Structure 1
Amino acid sequence: MQVLVIEDDDAVADGIVDGLADRAITATRVANGRDGIASAAELLPDLIVLDLGLPDIDGTEVCRRIRANSDVPIIIVSARDDEVDRVVALELGADDYIVKPFGMRELVARIHAITRRSSGGSPPARDVSGESRLVIDSRARRVLLDGAAVHLTPREFDVLEYLARDRGAVYRRTDILRDVWDTTWFGTAKTLDAHIAAVRKKLGDPGWIESVRGVGFRLGEP
């Protein structure tokens, strides 16, 4: 696995790089946003660890620019503990958000959780709408709507695929957060709401994912 670490704090960056190396994960570190954007395009890493407080470009903008050209998983690491910062980062395409200070065990657990879901081992493509409009190819991790590709981030794909396991069934918010974000995730419901909103927007109709008040969500058909 190749991880790109975009972090301006030398002590934090060295700790991440060394900690990943101890676990046989190769990491390349850059110290600013411009180099991070360039390295993401050149190195094609398997995952990016991104700080928000960069000296030249805010990390949220770096996330947006990388996400515009790549579906690589992105984990935000930041001292910003405000819920607004979390939601904005997730809406821009980040897959996870960890608040500093954090332990290497937690970061590695998040990395493994994301890469497990992104690496495959899932069932083959299946039509989930009954009329062949929406197709989720779990093996290739792609979504087709009316024959056209829908570009989702890894976490957005995980959410949609989870709801498609039993079309029409209502899934509780807590179950989705637990199973999609793994047991190491302690985020709020707004994290899930941000991803649901993003998937609805990309599918072009909010009716694809229906809200069941006080319970959760289910995959519908507009």
Structure 2
Amino acid sequence: MRKSNPVISHGSSCLTRKAMNSAFCRSRRPRQARRTPPSGSMDLHAVRDLCHQMGVVASLAGDVRKAVVIEHEFEVRAVLSRLLRQVGFVVHETSSGEIGVELAERINPQVIVVGSGLRDIDGHETLRRLSNRVSAHLLAVLESDEEFDVVHSFDAGADGVMSKPLREREFRARIDSFVRRQASTSRLLALGESQRGRILSHRNLTLNVVTWQVMIDAESVELTATEFSLLRALLLHPGHVRSKKELARMLNDEDGAGAVDLYVSPAAVRSIEVHIANLRRKLGDSARTELWIETVRGVGYRMVGEQNSRS
């Protein structure tokens, strides 16, 4: 199969084009210099310049939902981008893992979709780099649904996994679930509630449910959306043991409606184990020392100690 050069394109909504035109109309450059670079081969220096321009667009357009699609198959990439645009995302897409990571760091998207057959760095390495650098919701799209690939993707930092052939309704359902979670957080700000209940604390660890920020002492801890939700669930019930199935239901039904009736597959339980392991690693726990999260064998997890508090 002939290799294709990495490509990158960005959202094409009218608002985005208008914002970009207004951002550069005062530069008095020739008209052709203000045109958006076409899709095609680009090195990392070129994408940095483009990302800078897109950052200007985002700041002018206000709170825009942004997504990055990193997928080597053009047809699959086009479908993923279309589905994301249908639910209000401005989509930036590329076939390169390296460019995808660069894009994500520059524009700070809410959702990133990562394919597994990338040309430069593979999907698992792309997920690993993204999970260490951004806090977006990471969804892996795999070539198969074999258990090894699924578990490896969760190990690398994926919040969710799908396999090809792509099931459009399932993809939409996953994105809709994530959007509902974000909307629930945004409502806290819109209602103008007091700070009480927004910040959860445990010893020198604090979690802000509005800004999605986790701090240990004065140091920020970068978590994925799933890791943040799991930590929040444990902090909301200090001293209580949360079972793996309970945590899996919580992730699949953030609003809690009918959560008790949701079926939890063995794969979903395994994914909770992987996410908790990744969360522990980022918090500084080790296999021998449980500083933050304690495993209650045969039951589930809880925060270590009894000094949990809510401010």
TM (normalized to structure 1)?
0.86
User: Counterpart of 2:251?
Assistant: 180
What does residue range 134-173 of structure 1 map to in structure 2 within 5 Å? 134-173=205-244
User: Counterpart of 1:68?
Assistant: 132
Unaligned stretches of 5+ in structure 2? Answer: 1-64, 189-196, 254-261, 307-311
Structure-2 change in CA distance of 1:145 and 1:61 (3 Å): same
User: Counterpart of 1:26?
Assistant: 90
8 Å CA contact 1:109, 1:184 repeated in 2: no
Distance, in Å, in 1 between the alignment partners of 2:174 and 2:264 is 8
Q: 1:210 aligns with which of 282, 287, 294?
A: 294
Give percent identity, aligned residues only: 31
Q: After TM superposition, give the deviation of residue 158 of structure 1 in Å.
A: 0.6
Please state if 1:126 is matched with 2:197: no
User: Counterpart of 1:100?
Assistant: 164
Q: Which amino acid aligns with 1:96?
A: G
8 Å CA contact 1:48, 1:75 repeated in 2: yes
The CA RMSD measured in Å over matched residues stands at: 2.4
Q: Deviations over 1:155-195 (max 9, x none)?
A: 11110101111111111211110112336985432211111
Structure-2 change in CA distance of 1:184 and 1:13 (3 Å): farther
8 Å CA contact 1:6, 1:51 repeated in 2: yes
* Greater mean alpha carbon deviation, residues 76-85 or residues 162-171: 76-85
Q: After TM superposition, give the deviation of residue 217 of structure 1 in Å.
A: 1.3
Q: After TM superposition, give the deviation of residue 140 of structure 1 in Å.
A: 1.6
Structure-2 change in CA distance of 1:147 and 1:32 (3 Å): closer
Q: After TM superposition, give the deviation of residue 207 of structure 1 in Å.
A: 4.0
User: Counterpart of 1:8?
Assistant: 72
Distance, in Å, in 1 between the alignment partners of 2:121 and 2:204 is 40
Unaligned stretches of 5+ in structure 1? Answer: none
Distance, in Å, in 1 between the alignment partners of 2:225 and 2:102 is 21
Distance, in Å, in 2 between the alignment partners of 1:185 and 1:54 is 31
Distance, in Å, in 2 between the alignment partners of 1:148 and 1:28 is 31
How many residues are aligned here?
219
